[in-house]
Structure 1
Amino acid sequence: MQPQDKLHAYEPQPYVELTHPQWSKNATIYEVNIRQYTPEGTFNAFASHLPRLKDLGVDILWLMPIQPIGEKNRKGERGSYYAVKDYQAVNPEFGTMDEFKSLVEQAHELGMYVILDWVANHSAWDNPLTINNSEWYTKDHNGSFQPTPWWDWTDIIDFDYENPQLRKYMTDSLIYWVKEANIDGYRADVAGFIPTNFWDTVRFELDKIKPVFMLAEWDARDLHKKAFDMTYAWELHDTLVDVNKGNGDASTVYSHFAHALSAWPDNAIKMNFVDNHDKNSWEESMFARHGKYLNAGIVLTVTAEGMPLIYSGQEAGLDRPLAFFEKDEITWKAHPVGDLYKQLFKLKHKNQALWNGNWGGKMIPVPNNNSKAIFSFARQKAEDKVFVVINFSDKAQSVSFNETIQLGEYTEYFSNKATVINADTQLSVPAYGYKVFVK
C-alpha cells in the first residue's frame, strides 16, 4: 500500500450520504390539514385550492395523515389523524383512494410534490394488527398494550421495532403509497422514537422507486446521514418566541445560529417555521406566540438557511388554535401574512443564495454596532447575494456594520430602492422591522 493510499482513509467524507431530489433545491413546504381546510373536508374540495397554493409559491404539499382513524379510545368526535387504523387505506371522511390519486396527479401537473405524514411509532387500539400480530407491540408490566410511555397518548398503542416482521410490514406499507399513489416522500411523525437504522433502510428502498423527499419530526444530526433530507428547526421557533416574551433579543438569535450552523452537516436542510399543527393546536396562535415580531420571524425563516414552512390557514391570518379532534373550519380571506410569504417565496425561488442545502449560500454573520437589537447576515451563491437586517426590538434603530461581505450595490427588496452598502453605511430600521438587500 502506497503512503497516499493510507492517508485516504483519513480524508474527510461528506456526512450526508443521501442525495436530495433535484426538485427540492429551492422548494418551500406547506402543511395541509384536510379536515379543517374546507366545509367538505375532502381531497376533492382541497384540490380546488391547488392553483392558489401554486400562486402563493408552494412547492411541497405535506398532508397530515390520510388513513382511517381508530374508534376505540378515540379522542373527541373525529379523533386524531395520528391514531391509524389501517396503513394501506384512505380515511373515508376525506374521500376514496382514486380521489387521493387524482389530487396527487393534479398537484404534479402544477409542478408541486406531495408527501404524506406517516405514523410509524404507534397505531390505533383497533388496528387489525393488534389481533393478527399482537407481538409487534410493546407491552406494559401486566403484558397489556400500552401508549408510548410517559405521554398522554391514550388513543394509540406503541409498536416494538425490535421485531423484524414489523419493520418489514411498515417498510412495505411505505413502499405501497409511493407505488400505488405516486407520492413523493414522507414526513415521519416522532421519527426519533424509532431506531435510525429502520429509516436508513426505508430511504434506500424508496429511492429504488423514485427520488423521494423525507422530513423527520425530530432534530437529531444522525437522521440526516442516510435517511432524511430535512428535520425540524424547533429551537429557532422557540428562540423567536423567547424574543417576543422578552426573554431574548437579537444576540439570542445570533447565538442560536452560531450553535446550529456549527452543529449540523452542511447539506442538511432544517425546516424553519413560525407555526405548525403542534404549535397551533396545543399552544397559541402564531400572533399570540410571536406578537409584533411575527413578520420579522417570517422574514428570517424564509431567508435563513433551511426550507420555510406554512401551516394551513397562516396565509389567511389564522388567529386561533384549530381544534384537533373535531371539525373546525379555516376561514379563508386575503391577509398581509399571505402577501408577505408570497413575496418572500418569489425571492427564494429565483435567488440562488436562498436555495436549500448545498445548492444555497451559507449564512455569514455580519457583526454590527447594535447587536442587542439588530441581527444581520449575508448569504451568497454564484452571482446572487442577499444581505438581511432585522430589528428584534420595539424601537427604531440605527446600525452600522463591521464586515466586508455586505458591501456592494443592491435593491432593497420590499421598497424596491437601489441602495449602496459601503464601509461607513448607517441604516435605519423601524421597530420590529427588517430590510432585505438583494443582488
Structure 2
Amino acid sequence: MSVVTRVTAALRSDAISGALLIGAALVALVWANSPLSHSYEALRSFSFGPAALHLNLNMEGWAADGLLAVFFFIVGNELKQELVHGELRDPRRAVLPIAAALGGVVVPALVFLAVNASNSGDAAGGWGIPMATDIAFALAVLAVVGRHLPGPLRTFLLTLATVDDMCAVLVIAVAYTTGLNLAALAAAASGLVLFGYLQNGRGRTVTRLRSAVPGWLLYVPLALMIWALMHASGVHATVAGVVIGLLMRTRARGREAHSPSHQAEEALRPVSSGIALPVFALLSAGVSLSGAGGFWTSTVTWGVLAGLLVGKTVGIFGVTWLTARFTSAHLNPRLAWTDIAGIGVLSGIGFTVSLLIAELSYTDAAQLTEAKGAVLLASAAASLLAAVVLGRRNRHYRRLAQDGPSTQVEAMAAPAPN
C-alpha cells in the first residue's frame, strides 16, 4: 500500500479528521495569543485573487468561502446518499432524526434570542450561531468514546447533523445574504441546472458526452464557475457546494464501476478532512483572549453557551421524545432514551459552521470575539460532557456484548431504560 493510499484512508477516519480539526483550532488559539500574534493576523488578512471576478479575498475569506464549499459538498452528497439509499429513504425511519434536527435548530436559536432579549444593540443578530452541529468533530468524539455503542446511534447522529447543517445553509442563504446580484444568481442557477442534467440526464447526447470526456474535466470547471457566480451573487458561496452535492448521481450506469457520487466522495473527503476543515479552523479559531475583558458579562457569550449546551440538548431530546410519544414514529429498539440524551449533548459541538455564522453575524470586533470564544468553550464543554454520558452507555453496551446474545435480546425486548 502506497503512502498516499495510507494517508487518504486515514483521513477518512472520523477520529483522525476530528483530531486534525481540534489540533488546528488549538494551534490557532495559541498562535493568536502568543508574541507572534502579529504574524497570525498578517496571515489571515493576506489578500489575493482576481478583483474583476469579486474574488480578491483575504486568506480567512478564501477558507470560509472556498475551502468550506468542499466540506458542504460532502454534506450535500451525504444527504443525497441518505435520501436515495439510507435512513431518509424510509419516511418512518427518517422522522425521528429529522425531528431531532429541527428541534436542535429551533430551540437553540430561541434560547439565544431569549438571553439577548434585553439587549437593544445588534447582539441578537447572532441567533443562527448555536443552530449548527459540527459533523466531523461530533463523529470524532463518538468514534473515540463509543466503540461499543449500537450502529443505529451513529446513523441517527449522522442523519441529524446532516439535516442540521442543511438548515444552517438555508439560514445562511436567507438571513445572512445582503446586496443580492440577481444576474449572477440566475447564471449560477443556470449552471446548476446544466450540472444536474449532465449528472442525471439520459439523452443520447449527454450519455455520449459523459463517455467521451473524463468526469473531472466535465464537472470540475463547471462547479468552479457555479461557485464563483454564487459568490458574486451575494449568496454565501458554500450554498453552491451543498446544491452541487445534492445533484450528484448515486447510481452507476453503463460501464461505470461506481456512481459519480461515490467517486467524488472518495476523492474529496480526504481533501475536506485533511485540508478544508483544518485550514478553516486554523484561520478562524484564533481568538485573542487579551481583548475578551467583557466576555463573561456579554449576552452574546451567554446566548451562545446556553444555546449550544442547553438548547441543543433540550431541543433534540425533547422534540424526539414528543414525536415518538404523539406519532407513530418510534425509537430504534437497539437504542435507549439515554443514548438520545447523549447525542443531544454531543450536538452542542458547534465549531465549524457556528464559527462561520459568527463571522457573518457580527462586524463589531468585540462581539465577534465573544461569539467565537463562546463557540470554542461550548464545543469543548459539550465534548467532555458527551464523553461522560456516552462513555457510560458504551460501558453498558460492552457489558451486554460480553454477557452474550441472549442478554442483548432481553435488553432489546425490554422497555427503553432511562
Assess same fold via TM > 0.5: no
Per the normalisation by structure 1, the TM-score is 0.28
The structure showing larger relative contact order (alpha-carbon pairs under 8 Å, at least 6 residues apart) is: 2
Q: Specify which structure has the higher proportion of strand.
A: 1
Q: Specify which structure has the higher proportion of helix.
A: 2
Q: Which has the larger radius of gyration?
A: 1
